[in-house]
Structure 1
Amino acid sequence: MNIRSLTRGDGVVIGAAVLLFIASFLDFYSCDTEFCSTNAWDSDLFPVLPSLYLAGIIAAGLIVGARFLPAGRKIAGLGLDQWGLALAVFAAWTGLWTLMGGLPADNGVGQILGVIAAVALAAGAVLNTRIPALQAALMGAPRPQAPSPYGAAPAQGYGYPGQQTAPSPYGAQAGQPTAQQSYGGQQQAAQPGPAAGAQGGQAAAGGEFAPFWFAVPVTRPLYAEDGSPTPIAELAPGTWYLAVDQRGAALIAQTQDGRRGVLQDTTGIQRG
């Protein structure tokens, strides 16, 4: 069921059905004598309830329900929306006649609102497929988030846990995690050393490696640590990964699901 398949015309139909339901509990007619007021649920007014109020509510259900069924689904040769249209017109026709019924009482607010709702429902059902403005989507599609351009600062979110910005240690780039970070369900301790800020994610010889976040400019394979030639994963641009160790010019990287592997090509990577 996709609610975004509903149109503005369907919204009119749904609103009219809600108003019909509310109106059925209000006074259908009223007079000056005691205990004269009553609503559509009173048995003395039968068949006003099924002919006006319930017929309109069922019509709205059929019209809206047809949006969520495969095209071509029919009952007795008619689609659900066609049955709903017929019931909506019938409810409006019945409502108009109740205004001329000659009851020995005044028209109540429930009767007037019910007739207005039934007419609006019938109009929405008839014009739903004929007026372009009513065919527009009731709810707009969600706007996709634009991916961060390569080289932009990492955003807070999945793959880059929130942290308090601390003064950068000696040799480290601004924004590099220096405290324990949670990634893929594991804790990685970032212990910066004197050579932690080497460009391209590499640490200078003799310095202790400091885990850091990085992004790749293009899709690159991640190989198993045992030297197998078959990639175990692919690193995609726009996602931040954690470098947990260094092996020569290569990096040991960890993916979002906790897998570790060797990133052999570290050219052009961007550090977090």
Structure 2
Amino acid sequence: MNIRALTRGDGVVIGAAVLLFIASFLDFYSADCDGGPYCDDIDMPNGWDTETLFVVLPSVFLIGLIGAGLVIAGRFQPESRKVSGLTLDQWGSGFVVVAAWDSLWSLMVTPDKGSPGVGAILALVATLASAAAVIATPRVPALKAPLMPAAAPAAPSPYGAQSPYGAQAPQPGYGYPGPGGAQPGQPGQPQGGQPGQPSFGGQPGPAGQPAQAQAAGGSDFAPFWFAVPVARPLYAEDGSSSTIAELAPGTWYLAVEQRGQALVAQTQDGRRGVLQDTTGIQRG
């Protein structure tokens, strides 16, 4: 599990789930008894009082907490993994929206001589915040940003060309991330007598294929290793919308070609595709 897969919108969902859990233990309704002598003796129900609020517990609190859990769990699962045709975060998004509606409805049907308690009000705030987050995150860049920013790249060296992505391009005969990386086809062999770094993403390219043959971006482009801050799809090279793989955070991939702002990336098993969203990638 890589926490860098979480977005700021997911952070809002997590915070709203914590607030919803706290609200479940607070009075869901309060009594309007006009200061009568028995007001202090009235025990108002909370969300876990199944005898009085047998509908509120599953329809507001449980479905809201389960929905938030599914949204977060879906960030660590590939998009191809679905349940009844929907991904986990899509199921979770539906759950939290239903919880928000049920929470609002529970305030509309407050019993006679009663009013919403602090538990009901906090539950409404939490479910509305969670529903707004799951709906707005795919559409608002500020919420799509990683919750934990990627580590800052190392300071550029005076040796080697500069990449359009703001970090130093690798030296000829690229290797694994870090100085003195091993050459493709020569695992563990040092460059210039320096100890080699371990592989982070597998051997690039078919066995025996020269490394230089993969650099199709011209003389100004040198292949480099990179990692994505969040899971991102890798599209087919023919320009279609079909997805051939999904790049996961915490794994190094090899960029072998540049196409405008996009990169042609190679996975551990040798598949190649176009990474269209290169914002926030971490250079190796």
Name the TM-score, length of structure 2 as normaliser. Answer: 0.51
Once the two structures are TM-superposed, the CA of residue 38 in structure 1 deviates from its matched residue by 2.2
Structure with larger Rg = 1
Q: Work out whether 1:236 is the aligned partner of 2:194.
A: yes
Structure 2, unaligned stretches of length 5 or more? 34-38, 160-178, 181-188, 196-284
- The aligned counterpart of 2:18 is 18
Partners of 2:45 and 2:5 in 1: CA distance: 39
Deviations 1:226-269 (A, max 9, x none): xxxxx9996439xxxxxxxxxxxxxxxxxxxxxxxxxxxxxxxx
Once the two structures are TM-superposed, the CA of residue 36 in structure 1 deviates from its matched residue by 3.1
Deviations 1:107-156 (A, max 9, x none): 11010000111011111111111111110111101224549999xxxxxx
Would you say the 8 A contact 2:74–2:88 is kept in 1? yes
Partners of 2:137 and 2:47 in 1: CA distance: 28
Structure 1, unaligned stretches of length 5 or more? 151-217, 220-230, 238-272
Query: SS of the counterpart of 2:123?
Result: helix
Q: Work out whether 1:112 is the aligned partner of 2:70.
A: no
Q: Percent identity?
A: 55
Residue 129 of structure 1 aligns with an amino acid whose one-letter code is P
- The aligned counterpart of 1:263 is none
Deviations 1:22-47 (A, max 9, x none): 11011111224323322110111111
Would you say the 8 A contact 1:63–1:84 is kept in 2? yes
Matches within 5 A, 1:1-272: 1-31=1-31, 32=33, 33=39, 34-43=41-50, 44-103=52-111, 104-146=113-155, 235-236=193-194
Distance change in 2, residues 1:122/1:233 (3 Å):
closer
Query: SS of the counterpart of 1:62?
Result: helix
Deviations 1:80-129 (A, max 9, x none): 11111111110000011011113131211010000111011111111111
Would you say the 8 A contact 1:30–1:36 is kept in 2? no
How many residues are matched?
A: 159
Residue 134 of structure 2 aligns with an amino acid whose one-letter code is A
Partners of 2:121 and 2:81 in 1: CA distance: 36
Partners of 1:122 and 1:73 in 2: CA distance: 23
Residue 47 of structure 1 aligns with an amino acid whose one-letter code is V
Distance change in 2, residues 1:133/1:147 (3 Å):
closer
Distance change in 2, residues 1:235/1:70 (3 Å):
same
Deviations 1:169-204 (A, max 9, x none): xxxxxxxxxxxxxxxxxxxxxxxxxxxxxxxxxxxx
Partners of 1:126 and 1:21 in 2: CA distance: 21
Would you say the 8 A contact 2:110–2:116 is kept in 1? no
Partners of 2:9 and 2:17 in 1: CA distance: 13
Partners of 1:136 and 1:78 in 2: CA distance: 23
Aligned Cα RMSD in Å?
Answer: 2.6
